Amino acid sequence: MSTYYTQEVNKLRVPVDKDLFPNLLARAHIKAFTLANIQAGFRATGIYPYAPNVILNTLCLPELTIPAS
């Protein structure tokens, strides 16, 4: 979404004030929230298709140790 917002701001070439902000945000929202972008977000986070290792592999988790009994 920030990419599309930045594109809209750059088109204007004027400072963004509180009167322009809602309109720019609405334009960015329309461009960003497409079916393809939503599906890509779910895929990138491993939500669908279910792939928990997408996120788990990026975490720095401590090694599990099992105490001897």
Tens-place pLDDT, residues 12-66: 999 999 999 999 999 999 999 999 999 999 999 999 999 988 888 888 888 878 8
Task: Please tell me which residue, 67 or 36, carries the higher pLDDT value.
Answer: 36
Return the pLDDT at 41: 92
**32 vs 41: CA distance, rounded Å:** 11
Predicted TM-score (pTM) above 0.75: no
3-class SS letters over the chain:
CHHHHHHHHHHHCCCCCCCCHHHHHHHHHHHHCCHHHHHHHHHHHCCCCCCCHHHHCCCCCCCCCCCCC
Residue boundaries of the structural domains of the chain: 2-56
